[in-house]
Structure 1
Amino acid sequence: MTPPTEQRRTRVAEEASRVAGGVRTLGEALARLLQPAAHRFGLVGADIVPLLVLLVCAVVLFVGLAGGAEVYEGVRERGDLARFDQPVLDWAVSHRSGGLDSAITAFTHLGGPVYFPIILVLLLAVFTWLRRTASPFLVLALGLGSALAFTAAGKDITARSRPPRALAVPPYESSPSFPSGHTVTATVTAVLVAYLVFLAARSRRVRTVAVVLCSLWALLMGLSRVFLGHHWLTDVMAGWCLGLAWGALVIVVNTARLLLRTRHRRLDDAGDTPVAG
C-alpha cells in the first residue's frame, strides 16, 4: 500500500504537470494569436515580446478602468465597498502612536508636491542617462502630467469630503478626497518605472527587484493615506485601479510607437537592399 506522504507527493507532481501543460497551451495560443500581427510588423522570435506587452497592458487597462468604475459606483451608491471606509479608519486611529505617525507622515510626504518632483527629476536623469534617449522623459513626464490632470478632474466631479479632521494626523488637507492623488501618482510612477527598468536592464534579478520595490511603493503610499486619515479606503482603492490603468495606457502608446518605428526601419532597410539580376 502506498504511504500517504507518497500519495500527496504524487498528487502534487500531477497538479504541477497539469499547470505546466496549461501554461504551455496558453503560450502556444498566444503565439498563434499574435502571429498575424507579428508578421504584419515584420517581427520574428523574441521580437514578439512587444506584442505580448501590448496584450497584457490592454488587459490591465480594462481591469483597472472596470475596477475604478466599480469603486466609484460603490462610493456614489454607498454600497458594500464604502461600508468598510469607517471601520478601517477607526482601526487606523486605534493603532496610531507618536513615533509611528511621524514616520508614516515623512514617508507620505515623499509622494507630495514638495519631494515628489525632486524624486521625479532624479528618475528622469537616471533613465535618460542609461538609455541615451528622450523616451524616458516622454514616458514619465507625459504619463504623470496627464495622470495629475485626470485626478484633479475626478476630484472636481466627485467632490467627496475627506475624513473628519478629528480623525486625521496633521498637516491637514482640504481638497476633494476621491480619488487619492498620492496613490494615483505613486501607482503610475511604479508602473512606468518598472517598465523603464525592463527596457534598460538585462538582468532578471534587477528586473525582479524593481518590480518588488515599485509595487511596495504604490501599496504603502496608498495605505499611508488611509492610516493618517487623509483619505478613505475607497479613495485609495480607486487610486490604485486608475493608476494601473493609466500606467498601462502609457505603456500601450509607447510600445505601439516603438513597434511602428521598428516596422518603418525594417521597411526602409528592405527598400535599401539591392535587387539581384
Structure 2
Amino acid sequence: MIARSWELFQNQVRQWRKEPLIPAALLIIACGLLGFIEIAEEVQQKESHSYDEKILLAMREAGNPADPLGPPWMEEMGRDLTALGGFTILTGLTVVSMGLMLLYGRVRLSLLTLVAITGGMQASAWLKSLFGRPRPDLVPHGVLVTSASFPSGHAMMAAVVYLTLGVMLARTQPSRKVRLYIVSLSVIIALLVGCSRVYLGVHWPTDVLAGWTLGGAWAVTFGLIALKVDPRRPGDEGRGDEEAKTLEESE
C-alpha cells in the first residue's frame, strides 16, 4: 500500500514538472472558491454594504451622484468596456475562438471550451436567482439592466470566457511569450469589464469581486481539465488524439 502510494506521488511530481503551474492553479481555484463564499456571506449579512456605498460614491462627482467621474467621453468608454462582457460579444468571441481551435485540430479542446462557457452561463444565472440581490439604487444606472445584482454576470462571464479562451488558445501556441501575452490580455479585459460595471452604477463592488473570484476559479478549473482531455502540446497539431495521448503517457 505504501509502495503504491509512493508511486502515485512520484507520478504526480513528474506531471507537475511537465506542467509546473498545476500547484499554482490549484491554489488559485481554492482561493477563488473560498473568496466567493466569504463575499457571499458578507453580502447576505450586509456587513460589506457600507464599503460598497463608499466605493460606488467615490466614482461619482462630489455632490452629484448622477454624474460619474471624468468627462463625458469617459462614461462612453465605460459603456464600450462593459459591452465586452455582454452576451453578444462573448458568444461571438467564443464561436470564433472555437473555430480557431478546430483549425488547429484541437477538437477536444474546442468541445471543452463550449462546456466550460455554457456551464458558466448557467451557473451565473442560477446564482443570481439564488441570492436575488437588488441592483444599486444609490446612483442612476448608466446602462439597461434587468437581472439581479449578485454576482455580477458581466464580471463573472468576462472572467469565465476571456480566461477560459485565453488558457485554451494559449495551449495552441509554441511561444511562451505569446502564451503569456494571451493570458495577460484576458485578465486585463476581465478586470476592465468588472470595473466598468461599478463605474456605471449597475453593480455593487462586492458583486463584481464575487464574479471575478468565481469566474476565475471556474476558468482555471477547466484549464486543468484541458490537460487531461487534450494533452497535446504546441507543435503536436498533426498528431491524432490517440497518438498524442500515447505520447503523453510514455513520458
What is the TM-score with the length of structure 1 in the denominator?
0.73
66-75 vs 191-200, greater mean Cα deviation: 191-200
Task: Quote the Cα distance in structure 1 between the aligned partners of 2:157 and 2:216.
Answer: 10
SS at match of 2:59: helix
1:140 CA displacement: 2.0
Cα distance change, pair 93–146 in 1 and its aligned pair in 2 (3 A)? same
The alignment status of 1:159 with 2:136, answered yes or no, reads no
Whether 2:129 is the aligned partner of 1:145: answer no
Q: Deviations over 1:102-144 (max 9, x none)?
A: 1210221121122221122222222322x31213322321111
- Partner amino acid for 1:234? T
Matched, 1:191 2:158: no
Mapped to 2, the partners of 1:150 and 1:86 lie a distance apart of 27
- Does the 8 Å CA contact 1:139/1:192 hold for their aligned counterparts? no
Q: Distance in 1 between matches of 2:167 and 2:126?
A: 26
Letter in 2 for 1:206: V
Question: Which deviates further from its counterpart, 230-239 or 192-201?
Answer: 192-201
- Amino acid across the alignment from 1:222: G
Structure 1: how far apart are the matches of 2:31 and 2:10?
Answer: 28
Alpha-carbon distance in 2 for matches of 1:262, 1:48: 22
Deviation at 1:263, TM superposition (A): 10
Q: What CA distance in whole angstroms lies between the structure 2 residues aligned with 1:128 and 1:101?
A: 38
Partner AA of 1:150 in structure 2: A
Match of 1:101 among 68, 75, 80: 75
Please list every run of at least 4 consecutive aligned residues from structure 1 whose deviation after the TM superposition is greater than 3 angstroms.
Answer: 35-41, 256-259, 261-264, 266-269
Separation in structure 1 between the aligned mates of residue 208 and residue 163 of structure 2, nearest angstrom: 16
Q: How many residues align?
A: 229
Give RMSD over aligned pairs. Answer: 2.8
Greater fraction of residues in helix = 1
Pairing 1:91–2:58 present: yes
TM-score (normalised: structure 2)? 0.80
- Superimposed CA distance per residue, residues 133-185 of structure 1 (whole angstroms, 9 cap, x where no aligned partner): 2133223211111111111111011000001284221x321210000111111
Unaligned runs of 5+ in 2: 1-5, 62-68, 232-241
Q: Is the 8 A contact 2:109 2:230 kept in 1?
A: no
1:126 to 91, 100, 104: 100
- How many angstroms does 1:189 deviate by? 2.1
Distance 1:224 1:196, change over 3 A: same
Aligned equivalent of 1:76, options 37, 44, 50:
44
Change (3 A) 1:127 1:264: closer
Greater Rg over alpha carbons, structure:
1
Q: Unpaired runs of 5+ in structure 1?
A: 1-34, 270-277
Instruction: Provide the residue aligned with 1:265 in structure 2.
Output: 246
Match of 2:87 in 1: 113
| Partner residue, 2:153 | 181
Aligned with 2:35 (options 60, 67, 72): 67
* CA–CA separation in structure 1 for the residues paired with 2:169 and 2:245: 25
Over the matched positions of the two proteins, sequence identity in percent amounts to 24
Q: For 1:19-39, what per-residue CA distance to the aligned partner results, in whole angstroms no more than 9, with x for missing partners?
A: xxxxxxxxxxxxxxxx84475
